[in-house]
Structure 1
Amino acid sequence: MDKVKLYTLKKESVNLTPLMSVGKNGMADSVIEELKKQLKVRKLVKVRIHKNSGESDDMKETALELCEKCNAELIDVRGRTVTLYKK
């Protein structure tokens, strides 16, 4: 992805609220399927990853794993919130 598009998507994502949460069940199949649906409809989605999700404390690593499972691109990581874009 080129820098201009990445910058534009980051700017657009600032006003988004997280649509989904990864909770105590972690990245369960149901969460992945719902995220895929949301990405298909909205293209740009924010996801909140809770501390009790059982995922790594390294949010970048967790976000990249989520991207791989959902065929998405990582746009931004802010705290425990990640923004993904449909490839």
Structure 2
Amino acid sequence: MSRRCELTGKGPMVGNNVSHANNKTKRRFLPNLNDVSLMSETLGRPVKLRISASALRTVDHRGGIDAFLAKAKDDALSPNALKIKKEIAKAQASA
């Protein structure tokens, strides 16, 4: 399972551990990923995603997963999130 946010594309970053003696060794900074079920009002069912904590706050700020996906760029989304975005757009067009 890749350590990448499905909504924002946020992934691991690299940097250095720096000791008191100023020795530097490589390390990875991993994103804070959580498995969540977000309720889609358009689809009427929850959608399961693995997203970062900052993306979860952004989803709440924008007013839910439907509004977030409507504004999101396709290249940042995972294939699973892109599929959900298309389902929501199709459901909104038919309603």
TM-score above 0.5: no
Structure number with higher helix proportion: 1
TM-score (ref. length: structure 1): 0.29
Structure number with higher strand proportion: 2
TM-score (ref. length: structure 2): 0.28
Return the structure number with greater relative CO, CA threshold 8 A, min gap 6: 1
